[in-house]
Amino acid sequence: MFQDLKIKPQYDGFIFLAESKRNPPILLRHHHVELELNLVIEGSISYVVSGRTYSFKKGSLLWFFPNQVHQLVDRTPDARYYVAVFKPDLIQSACHGVQYRELHRKSVKSGNVLRRILSSDSFQLLQRVIDSLMKNSLDPDLLNREGGFGLSSTFQFDHGDPDMLNAGLRYLLIQCWRLHCEESPMKAAPPIHPAVSKVLALLSQPRESHQMETLCKKAGISENYLSRLFHRQIGVPLSHYRNSLRISHFIAICRSDASVRLTEAAFQAGFGSYAQFHKIFQESYGMGPRDFFSKGSVSQF
């Protein structure tokens, strides 16, 4: 799925701190024209990219190049990670040297995720730089609800000092790549079993049946084997992943239609009852969906 990040013309990109307890679990496969990097500062996060599962712990720096399809599949409850994106024009204007040639790529042929585990000094340096760029930014609650995907179709990132942010994004991009090149490459992740890949694709389609019987039939394996295989390769139980994905669909429905009732959106997202949905949502965010949505209506500058 192509994702339009809707970055205003005066910005060369954006940056925000994603936190598991505040940031909606958007698990759908997506790509965009911007270069993206993540820096994990607490907990761990997992992505599926080109049929492989990658898990990233504290200190990980990872890159998603333009048009590289990636899918967040899990985060620990304490996960906190910076997400920064850079427009193609920024890369063209800021990266001229041979050492930055790879940053101009429009795709990754191998499908591999470029990533490094940073040294303590490098990690602390980047964290200080990013923290400084976050000054004069939007309220963290609002950024977590809207950053990248958002609950509101009209939301656009904003910052109190666009010139400082743009200059900082250029420095951040160059510094991150320099530190990336100083660290040793990490081993490639093993490929995902075709049956698990098939199930991930089926679950990403809202109109497909998410019942275990149907998934197993289409994947061509037994329920017990699928459950064990999925948990081992993706890192979370299939039931947990399905519920997180349903919340993703629920949020997407509410985003596309502000007049939809929460009960109706929950059923459309695949939950069997509103009580089941409410319990799972409460466990994920420590509050009910009504409170979650009302907290998102934070005024901008």
More confident position, 114 or 296: 114
Residue 301 in this model has a pLDDT that exceeds 50: no
pLDDT-wise least confident of 14-18, 153-157, 297-301: 297-301
Round the average pLDDT of the chain to a whole number and report it: 87
pLDDT-wise least confident of 14-28, 178-192, 249-263, 286-300: 286-300
Residue 296 in this model has a pLDDT that exceeds 70: no
Q: What is the 3-state secondary structure (H, E, C) of 20-72?
A: CCCCCCCCCCEECCCEEEEEEEECEEEEEECCEEEEEECCEEEEECCCCCEEE
Helix, strand and coil content of the chain, in percent to the nearest 5, comes to 45, 20, 40
Domain ranges for the chain = 13-182, 194-295
- CB proximity list for 247: less than 8 A, separation 6 or greater: 24, 25, 269, 280, 281, 284
What is the gyration radius of the CA atoms in the chain, in angstroms? 19
**197-231 residue pLDDT tens:** 999 888 877 666 678 888 999 999 999 999 999 99
pLDDT at res. 298? 34
Q: Which CATH superfamily is domain 194-295 in?
A: Homeodomain-like (1.10.10.60)
* Residue whose entry in the numeric block shows the structure tokens 């490639």: 188
**Eight-state DSSP code of residue 76:** -
Give the angle 70-251-22 at the CA atoms, nearest 5°: 80
> What value does the mean pLDDT take over residues 38-53?
93
> What value does the mean pLDDT take over residues 270-274?
88
- Tell me, what amino acid is at 47? Y
Q: What fold, for 13-182?
A: Jelly Rolls (2.60.120)
Read off the pLDDT band of 300 (50, 70, 90). very low
Query: The whole model's pTM is what?
Result: 0.83
* Residue whose entry in the numeric block shows the structure tokens 């990040």: 5
* Residue whose entry in the numeric block shows the structure tokens 């699928």: 226
pLDDT at res. 82? 95
pLDDT-wise least confident of 39-43, 44-48, 147-151: 147-151
pLDDT at res. 207? 60
Token reading at 276? 């089941």
Identical fold, 13-182 and 194-295: no
pLDDT-wise least confident of 1-5, 9-13, 203-207, 214-218: 203-207
